[in-house]
A and B are shown apart, each in its own frame.
Chain A
Amino acid sequence: MIQKILTGIFKLVISLVNLLLSPIDALITQSFPSISTGIGYVVSFFDYIEDLMYWVMSWFHLPQAFVTLLVAYFTFKLTVPHLVHRVKLAIAWYHKLKP
């Protein structure tokens, strides 16, 4: 269940970013093809890094549960403290601003 929730969140964010940047992507692709090609090389490089990561993981034979746990932990660590901090901030502002 955790895996599905995380996957859904990531897909949502990816879709939103793609949607927001799609006009810029189209502009670059059509008006600046050489830049687009350069970006393509960068993307290929990232793909290679991704393959390298999978390859290393294959030699360590890391189970899916390990990956899910790790992703869930870092998702929690990088989101919840910030969220709590902002809620605290908002409440503090509210207390200071209220008449």
Chain B
Amino acid sequence: MEEKTTRQELNESLYREDHKLDIIDSLLYFLFLCIFIMLILVFSIVDCKAVTHEWDITNTIWSTSDCEITQTHLGYYCAADSNVTNDLWSKIQVGNNAAGNNVLSISFLAKTSMLANSNHTIELHGLRYNNVTYSCSSNVVNCSVSYVSTSQLNINFTSSVNGISSAGVGFTITAYPNSFNGNNIFYINQFKLLSTEITSSGGDSSSGFDDTGIITSANQNKDEIINNQNENTQQITNSLTSMMNLDKLVSQDNINTQRANLQNMCKNSYDVSLFRGYTLTVNGSLTSSANTLFSDFTEITNTTLCIQNSAENSANLGGNYYVITYKSDKSYLGAYDSFNRCINLPSTAKYFRVATKYPGILITKGGKCETSEDQIKELLYDDNVSSGTGNSFFNDFTTTDPGSISQILTKPLVVVNNLLSSYNSCTNLNFSFTMPGSSEVSGYLPSGCIFWNNVNSNIISLWNIFVVGVASYWILCNLFKTIDSIKNPNDTREDVLRL
């Protein structure tokens, strides 16, 4: 009886403590809300000018849909995520110049299809400056800027030279805001290059080239190579078709995901550590037996990876045909697209990949290739690309579009898993809907990074400490309740002992 009384007192005490905790929680939440609103007000007023002074490219989406990339361009398109490479352009950069000024510099190499005196348009999507000064920097004439909307700016230009006939010719356009004021916001979200110059629908058969460009394993025989390439090509085609069909049905992010999947399907990654300190031999054969591609990786050290063109290749090819990129974390960085070039591999580099137009490229490791054959073979296979060539019942099991029940059921777990593994704090909210009259309206709400990227790092640290602190306190309080409920206070001592 005495024990019951004590337990009742304990329960009442716990109840009172809970009540107190609720009040404290409420006060903390209110405080949290007030501070957040104050921070927004303060920084939106004080730091507004700073916000407008930087080009934010953290969310740059490299668009290719309007480049009319055909199947034959895909092999060459498989390059760095931040360096779009296809048959028309190889690289576009945005950022501050050396002087620290906010300059949008668009530079690219025209490959085959950008002809002299051809007109092009680059669409820049995002929050734009009201006044932009622009200049035709290199091999570009007749630059003009048109303000399409508050979120879109178009730069029209004419190329003054042919692309492929002047190998390595760079095209550069520079744009920068006229003045800085509260309205000077240019949050670049998307690039598009509109051009009617890409007309190729097949490989350059006259020179024996096939543009599918999937690098294959050194240990695959010819039939496997052909089968894999056919399968890869089919998957790429299916993905493209899927993208086109879903274009108006799904969000821009979904399309971007599809695009990322497409890139993944094209890539072949090589573990840098396997090759460091060795000479690699790149042997490749073109579709025509008359042309044989031989090239050497002359050096892969801790810092550089070089491709050297042989005299034979120079004679046969005479152009830029490789793209080398390396991967240090999640995305591939850096791209060089010519022979006799080196790419710096930082110590953090884990993988590199080589994209090429030409099929049947064999990469073997000189000297000790045989000892690590299986390992290399395993690495050369991309898990995202099915290597099976037969018709299997399991081939029909797909989680891709159209939707499946498992996708719905597992969605909550997938969301939580994404939160834990690939949480991106800079996600724009894209939307698209049809207005009465069948006019399509699309746009996006910029992510909070447009604000937080310009907040002092010390403030961000304090904010993080505050948020994690409040969360930790709340979790601690509720954890106490949870554990207490596990104990089941209604159990008597005899009940517990009996268990």
Query: What residues make up the interface of A, taking CB atoms closer than 8 Å to B?
Result: 3, 6-7, 10-11, 13-14, 17-18, 20-26, 28-30, 33, 36-44, 46-48, 50-55, 57-71, 73, 76-77, 80-81, 84-85, 88, 91-92, 95
In the complex, chain A residues whose CB is within 8 Å of the CB of B478: 73, 77
Q: A14-B413, A58-B425, A60-B36 are in contact. Are A21 and B406 (CB under 8 A)?
A: yes
In the bound complex, do residue A58 and residue B447 qualify as a contact, i.e. CB atoms below 8 Å apart? yes
18 contacts between A and B (CB under 8 A): A7-B420, A10-B414, A21-B409, A24-B405, A41-B249, A41-B403, A43-B411, A54-B427, A55-B427, A59-B447, A59-B451, A63-B467, A63-B468, A66-B468, A69-B475, A73-B479, A84-B486, A85-B486
- How many Å from the CB of B435 to the closest CB on chain A? 18
Given known contacts A51-B251, A69-B471, A77-B479, what 6 new A-B pairs fall within 8 Å (CB)?
A: A10-B413, A24-B405, A25-B405, A26-B397, A48-B251, A58-B427
- How many Å from the CB of A48 to the closest CB on chain B? 6
Q: A50-B415, A52-B429 are in contact. Are A67 and B420 (CB under 8 A)?
A: yes
In the bound complex, do residue A44 and residue B251 qualify as a contact, i.e. CB atoms below 8 Å apart? yes
- How many Å from the CB of A41 to the closest CB on chain B? 7
In the bound complex, do residue A17 and residue B406 qualify as a contact, i.e. CB atoms below 8 Å apart? yes
In the bound complex, do residue B249 and residue A44 qualify as a contact, i.e. CB atoms below 8 Å apart? yes
In the bound complex, do residue A46 and residue B468 qualify as a contact, i.e. CB atoms below 8 Å apart? no
Scan B21-47; emit 1 where CB is below 8 A from any A CB, else 0.
000000000000000100000000000
CA distance A83 to B303 in the complex (A): 52
In the bound complex, do residue B404 and residue A29 qualify as a contact, i.e. CB atoms below 8 Å apart? yes
Q: A7-B421, A33-B402, A39-B405 are in contact. Are A91 and B499 (CB under 8 A)?
A: yes
In chain B between 437 and 470, which residues have their CB closer than 8 angstroms to a CB of chain A? 445, 447-449, 451-452, 460, 463-464, 467-468
* B311 within 8 Å of A (CB atoms): no
Per CB-CB distance, the 4 closest pairs between chain A and chain B, nearest first, are A40-B403, A59-B448, A25-B404, A39-B403
In the bound complex, do residue B420 and residue A29 qualify as a contact, i.e. CB atoms below 8 Å apart? no
In chain B between 369 and 421, which residues have their CB closer than 8 angstroms to a CB of chain A? 396-399, 401-411, 413-421
Q: A14-B410, A54-B427 are in contact. Are A7 and B417 (CB under 8 A)?
A: yes
CA distance A71 to B413 in the complex (A): 11
CA distance A68 to B418 in the complex (A): 11
Interface centre among B403, B406, B426, B498 (most CB of A within 10 A): B403
In the complex, chain B residues whose CB is within 8 Å of the CB of A50: 411, 415, 418
- How many Å from the CB of B397 to the closest CB on chain A? 4
In the bound complex, do residue A10 and residue B417 qualify as a contact, i.e. CB atoms below 8 Å apart? yes
Which residue of chain A has the shortest Cβ distance to B419 in the bound complex? A67
* B289 within 8 Å of A (CB atoms): no
In the bound complex, do residue B406 and residue A62 qualify as a contact, i.e. CB atoms below 8 Å apart? no
Which residue of chain A has the shortest Cβ distance to B396 in the bound complex? A26
Which residue of chain A has the shortest Cβ distance to B254 in the bound complex? A47
CA distance A84 to B488 in the complex (A): 10
In the bound complex, do residue B402 and residue A36 qualify as a contact, i.e. CB atoms below 8 Å apart? yes
Contact of A95 among B404, B419, B498 (CB under 8 A): B498
Interface centre among B404, B410, B426, B430 (most CB of A within 10 A): B404
Scan B100-120; emit 1 where CB is below 8 A from any A CB, else 0.
000000000000000000000
In the bound complex, do residue B448 and residue A60 qualify as a contact, i.e. CB atoms below 8 Å apart? yes
* B424 within 8 Å of A (CB atoms): yes
In the bound complex, do residue A95 and residue B499 qualify as a contact, i.e. CB atoms below 8 Å apart? yes
Q: A44-B249, A63-B464, A69-B472 are in contact. Are A10 and B427 (CB under 8 A)?
A: no
CA distance A7 to B404 in the complex (A): 22
In the complex, chain A residues whose CB is within 8 Å of the CB of B468: 63, 65-66, 69
In the complex, chain B residues whose CB is within 8 Å of the CB of A30: 396
In the complex, chain B residues whose CB is within 8 Å of the CB of A42: 403, 408
